[in-house]
Amino acid sequence: MSTVKFEPSLFATHLLVDVRTPLEYEEDHLPGAINVPLLSNEDRVEIGTLYKQTGPHQARIRGLELTAHRFPQLVEQIANAAAGMPILVYCWRGGLRSKTVTAILELTGFQAVQLQGGYKAFRGKVADYFAPFAPPGPLVVVHGMTGIGKTTFLLGLTSDNCTVIDLEGLACHRGSAFGELGLSQTLSQKRFETLLWDALRKAPAGRPVVVEGESQRIGKISLPGNFYEVMQGSAKVWCVASLPTRVSRLIEEYGIPAYKEGMATALERIRKRLGGDKFAEIAGYLERWELEPFMTELVMNYYDKVYYKTRSWREDLTISLEDYPAAGKALEEFLLHLPAKNGHSGAEKNGGLVQAATVIS
Residue 182 pLDDT class (50, 70, 90 cuts): low
pLDDT at 353: 31
* CATH number for 116: 3.40.250.10
The three-point CA angle 285-290-292 to 5° equals 105
- Number of domains the chain is built from: 2
Task: Give me the CATH number covering residue 302.
Answer: 3.40.50
Whether residues 124 and 144 fall in one domain = no
pLDDT on residue 140:
97
The reply to whether 293 and 195 lie within a common domain is yes
Residues 67 and 135 grouped into a single domain: no
pLDDT at 354 over 80: no
Domain limits at 75? 3-128
Closest listed residue to residue 63, CA positions, set 53, 72, 54, 51: 51
**What value does the CA radius of gyration of the chain take, rounded to a whole number of Å?**
25
If you average pLDDT over every residue of the chain, what do you get? 90
* Domain co-membership, 83 together with 221: no
Is the domain of 142 the same as that of 36?
no
Query: Does residue 62 have a pLDDT over 60?
Result: yes
Contact 9, 110 (CB under 8 A): no
pTM for the structure as a whole? 0.87
Whole-number Å distance between alpha carbons of 93 and 223: 25
pLDDT tens for each residue of 284-301: 999 999 999 999 999 999
End-to-end Cα distance, the chain: 64
- Which of these, 122, 55, 129, lies nearest to 93 by C-alpha position? 122
Q: Please write the tens of the pLDDT for every residue from 152-169.
A: 999 999 878 899 999 999
Looking at 106, 128, 150, the residue that finishes a domain is 128
pLDDT in tens, 183-211: 677 899 999 999 999 999 999 999 999 99
Domain identity same for 80 and 141: no
